[in-house]
Amino acid sequence: MTTQIRQLPATPSMMSPPPARWPHLSTVVIVGLIAAVPLVFFGDYWMFVAAKILAFGIAAMGLQILYGRAGLMSLAQGAFMGVGAYAGYLVAQSGLGPGIQLLAVIGAASLVALIVGLPTLRLSPLRLAIVTLAFGELFNWLLINSTEWTGGSQGAPVEPLIIFGFDTSYPLDAYLVALAFAVPLTLFALNLGQTHLGRRMMAIRDSEMAAVSVGVFIPKTKIIAFVLSAVFGGIGGWLYSATTGFIAPPDFDLFASVFLLAAVVIGGSRSVAGAWMGTAFIVLLPEGFNLIGQPNLYALAGGLLLATTALLLPDGFSGVFAHIKSLITRMRAQEDRA
Amino acid sequence: MKSTNRKERWITVESSNPFGQLILGGLTSGLLYALLLLGFMVVFQVSKTVNFAFGQVGMVAAFSAWFFWSSLGLPLPVAIGIGAILAVVVNSAIGIIVITKIPAGRPGLDLVVTLGIFLFLTAVMQLLIDANAHAFPSLGGDKRTVLGGVVVNANDVAIMVLGVFVIGGVYVLFSRTTLGMELRASAENADIAASAGVNVRLLRLGTWTFAGLLAALVAVLVASRLSVDAFYMTPVLIKAFVAGMIGGMDRFFAPLVIAIGIGVYEALAIFIWGSSAGTPAVFLLIIIALAVMPKRFTAARHEVRA
């Protein structure tokens, strides 16, 4: 028997958007300093790694919107990265520039998200995860079996993006181009929590019944979250392809999606900063083993480290920071009382 | 080296009843999915945790059995026995050391933790043995007879007999015995069950042991039909997992029937559209089925933690 809940009309306070709250200046300064580190200290290789972190981080932020805010699990974020990467690649093959490529990336990711999401977003989160898993597997199969378009399982070389003279075949330029997308998208994701849309997503995550009872139109909110997540994934994939200069189906398979989910969970699914920290961890982990001269050890210790980190930090890295922050606040309060 | 693509061979084998042959192949594949799912579900019932590494537990058994048999020259039953013991040890270790430590109310954490274990087990086996695919002994695949125009081999018969007995046995155990009632009670609320005198820790250890054995059994049978390497169980696990999610991990027969149905449908798709169509046909069906299925059939009674 289905439970009927009377949908109330939206209240006046819900009709008028709350004032946009942008991040504190201190946050902006810290983020700016972190973003400047590669520019000052890094050589070509680490700049390339930093550009990859930015590309994956954008995709992870998309998953954080869907999973951390709206409570919908997706195992296809890697596939949406692939949608963006291959859409950009196909448009570039026609000789069209980055502007058209970006539009194609956004359009393709949105369209695919609508096709997958519209009939299935009514499902429970785990069944939705299965649908997204199935979509990801289908997409990968399609990539492998359409050799004349995609290069098949052998992959395809990707032309670098050239935007205002910045050429992504150079690591520094690739980093700056990725940064130019990462900054506004991060600000958008940060501000989303302060908007009605973001609050509706969180209401759905916490209780669909309660959300319906206060006038939230659940299908519309879910589909917006799904499309937003896909667009972030598509842009991330497009930037990844421009940074690496080569794409192949394994870059966007189930494991890519699972690793993005791991990044979001390890970083802390409720925070945008968590998505970035988790992404940095996942991308830098193999590099760390390279650095100590034990690249083969990564395969062995990487999985163990992933499991251990997730067990020791169940709220993710951002949970640790939140804990430290609350400790400091409590200590200050105690000092004030004394 | 033996053929690594036996699946295609048994589908295209000469028989006077190709449709019956096809159904037999699909049924046996589906039963293997169902048996793996049964182990997955038993673990889930006890821990409410999705164990992404469950297929790799079976892989450890089959891959090590192949190594002991082919490289160390041990008799095959002994090699499989050692592999099964390894699977039990690994699965129990995952359950006791890792799964019980995952705190409740952290969505997705079980998936990430068991993903880490998945990667670890894969890397260990690649390091200890190698990263290549190897032909496994066919385990009765060459002993054939013809029934109603359908070529039936001993491997098929073993899978069907095992499937019926194991699934039936677990059902009877869970629904008709005191032990089953204690298992359900400890899965529902371990503290209350313990206060009523149930040895919850022992029951859980028994569950992990049984699931490990089941994973080993399925992995060895799958290897005997395909080949063995560090990743070969992943597609099997995904199909079993999908059947469990569609049918509901808290139900018994529905997900197992769906798993068998997936096997039959996959065989039909390969027969009609060719060998490369199996995977997309299955996943396309899953998307369509979940998209058009009435909500009352898709609503989870108890959502899993992930």
Cβ–Cβ below 8 Å for A134 and B284: yes
CB contact under 8 A, A307 and B101: no
Number of other residues whose CB lies within 10 A of the CB of residue A336: 7
Note which residues in 203-222 of chain B have CB less than 8 A from chain A: none
Comparing C-alpha atoms, which of B246, B282, B223, B300 is closest to residue B55?
Answer: B223
DSSP, res B196: T
Interface predicted TM-score (ipTM):
0.78
pLDDT in tens, chain B (306 residues): 344 444 444 444 566 788 888 889 999 999 999 999 999 988 887 777 888 899 999 999 999 999 999 999 999 999 999 999 999 999 999 988 888 888 877 766 787 788 889 889 998 999 899 989 999 998 877 788 888 888 888 999 999 999 999 999 999 988 888 888 888 888 777 788 888 888 888 888 888 999 999 999 999 999 999 889 998 998 899 899 889 888 888 788 999 999 999 999 999 998 888 877 887 888 888 888 877 776 665 555 444 444
- Write out residues 133-192 of B within 8 Å (CB-CB) of A: none
> CA nearest B142: which of B1, B10, B267?
B10
CA distance A241 to A222: 28
Does B254 touch chain A if contact means CB atoms closer than 8 Å?
A: no
**Three-class SS string for B230-263?**
CCCCHHHHHHHHHHHHHHCCCCCHHHHHHHHHHH
The size of the A-B interface in CB pairs under 8 A is 135
Residues 8-37 of A with CB under 8 A from B: none
Q: Do A137 and B283 touch (CB under 8 A)?
A: yes
Beta strands in chain A (DSSP E): 156-157, 162-163, 166-167, 246-247
Do the Cβ atoms of A202 and A209 come closer than 8 Å? no
| Chain B nearest CA to A9, separation (Å) | 25
Q: In Å, how far is A39's CA from the nearest CA of chain B? A: 33
Q: Which residues of B touch A302 (CB under 8 A)?
A: 119, 123
Interface contact B295-A308, CB threshold 8 A = no
β strands within chain B, DSSP E: 144-147, 150-153
The verdict on A115 touching B (C-beta cutoff 8 Å) is no
**Counting Cβ atoms within 10 Å, is residue A288 exposed (0-12), middle (13-18) or buried (19+)?**
middle
Q: Which residues of B150-182 are buried (b: 16+ CB within 10 A; e: fewer)?
A: bbbbebbeebeebbeebbeebeeebeeeeeeeb
pTM listed for this prediction? 0.81
B175/B172 Cα distance (integer angstroms): 5
Q: Is A4 on the interface with B (CB under 8 A)?
A: no
Chain B residues with CB under 8 Å of A305 CB are 116
Q: Which residue in B103, B113, B290 is closest to A120 by CB distance?
A: B290
Query: Does A67 reach chain B within 8 Å, measured CB to CB?
Result: yes
With an 8 Å Cβ cutoff, are B112 and A306 in contact? yes
Which of B286, B287, B303 lies nearest to residue A126, judging by beta carbons? B303
Contact A307 B246 (CB under 8 A): no
User: Is B274's Cβ below 8 Å from some Cβ in A?
Assistant: no
**Rounded CA gap, B251 and B201, in Å?**
24
B114-156 residue pLDDT tens: 888 988 999 899 989 998 999 999 887 778 888 888 888 899 9
Q: Give the closest-approach CA distance of A240 to chain B in angstroms.
A: 23
**Is any Cβ of chain A less than 8 angstroms from the Cβ of B5?**
no
Q: Nearest C-alpha of chain A: how many angstroms from B215?
A: 21
- Tell me the β-bridge partners of A247: A156
CA distance B262 to chain A (A): 13
What pLDDT is stored for residue A4 in this prediction? 45
What confidence tens digit (pLDDT) does each residue in A175-204 have? 999 999 999 999 999 999 889 999 999 998
Query: Which chain A residue lies closest to B242 (C-alpha atoms)?
Result: A130
Say whether residue A208 is in contact with chain B using an 8 A CB cutoff. Answer: no
Inform me whether the C-beta atom of residue A119 falls under 8 Å from chain B C-beta atoms: yes
Contact state of A306 with B119 under an 8 Å Cβ cutoff: yes
Instruction: Name which of B126, B241, B279 is nearest A141 (Cβ-Cβ).
Output: B279
Q: Which of B124, B280, B296 sits opposite A300 (nearest CB)?
A: B124
Contact (CB<8Å) A302/B299: no
Sign of CA dihedral A210, A211, A216, A222: negative
Mutate one of B115, B118, B122 to test the A interface: name it (highest A CB count within 10 A): B115
Residue A314 has its nearest CB partner, among B106, B126, B276, at: B106
Instruction: Please give the Cα distance from B180 to B35 (Å, whole number).
Output: 18
- pLDDT digits (tens), chain A, 338 positions: 344 444 445 444 444 555 555 566 666 777 777 777 777 777 888 899 999 999 999 999 999 999 989 988 888 999 999 999 999 999 999 989 999 999 999 999 999 999 988 887 877 777 788 888 889 989 999 999 888 899 888 999 999 999 998 999 999 999 999 999 999 999 999 999 889 999 999 998 888 888 888 888 888 999 999 999 999 999 999 999 999 999 999 999 888 898 898 899 888 888 899 999 999 988 998 888 888 887 777 777 778 878 888 888 878 888 888 888 888 888 888 888 87
CA-only gyration radius of chain B, Å: 19
3-state secondary structure of A246: strand
Structure tokens that stand for A165 in this block: 């003279």
Which tokens belong to B207?
A: 């569950």
Residues 88-117 (B) with a CB less than 8 A from some CB of A = 98, 101-103, 106-109, 111-117
The pLDDT value given to residue A2: 41
CB A234 within 8 A of CB A63: no
> Closest partner residue to B120 among A120, A138, A303, by Cβ?
A303
Q: With contact defined as beta carbons under 8 Å apart, do B132 and B229 qualify?
A: yes
Structure confidence at residue B11 (pLDDT) = 47
Chain A interface includes B257 (CB < 8 A): no
B107 and A269: CB-CB below 8 Å? yes
Are B79 and B129 contacting, i.e. CB atoms less than 8 angstroms apart?
no
| Residue A138 contacts B, CB cutoff 8 Å | yes
Residue A20 C-alpha, separation from nearest chain B C-alpha, in angstroms: 29
Taking the CA of residue A322 and the nearest CA in chain B, the distance in Å comes to 16
CA–CA min distance A125, chain B (Å): 9
Q: How many Å apart are CA B65 and CA A309, to the nearest integer?
A: 32
